[in-house]
Amino acid sequence: MPQTITRTSKDIVKEAMETVPEISAEEALSLVGSPDHVFVDLRDGTEQAKTGVIPGAVASSRGMMEFHIDPESPAHKPEFDQDKTYVFYCASGGRSALAAKVAREMGLSPVVSMAGGVGAWKKAGGRLE
């Protein structure tokens, strides 16, 4: 018997975008290098290698993010133990909204999602390394 999917991925992303604060790529440009902000790249390693990452960003693929945030996890990353604002981004904004929602539910705060992801970042003149 086929599955009956009652919520689409589009529905779940829309819900996340409605609950997570979002900033534009233009706003994010001024935050690079800020001592009060941490950029978190949620794309997988092949995506990061292909296009580059925002300078200074922490790599935390969407599949590992919860383990990187959790201080009790062997995969914990100390970059998530700082009293800073976390700016999550991905390729186009969907994964970062989902991840930011979960990170907030885990207790990480403050967390924002960058609208439009790397695509918007490049359009705004943002540098990748």
Predicted pLDDT of residue 14: 95
Q: CA 110 to CA 116: how far, in whole Å?
A: 19
Evaluate if pTM is beyond 0.85. Answer: yes
Residue 46 resides in a domain? yes
pLDDT digits (tens, 9 = 90+) for 68-92: 999 999 999 999 999 999 999 999 9
Q: CA 41 to CA 64: how far, in whole Å?
A: 11
Domain CATH number, residue 114: 3.40.250.10
Helices (H), 20-72: 25-29, 45-51, 65-69
pLDDT digits (tens, 9 = 90+) for 33-59: 999 999 999 999 999 999 999 999 999
Residue 109 resides in a domain? yes
Predicted pLDDT of residue 66: 98
Q: How much of the chain is helix, strand and coil, in % rounded to 5?
A: 40, 15, 45
pLDDT digits (tens, 9 = 90+) for 56-69: 999 999 999 999 99
Q: How many domains does the chain have?
A: 1
HSE toward the beta carbon, residue 74, CA cutoff 13 A:
0
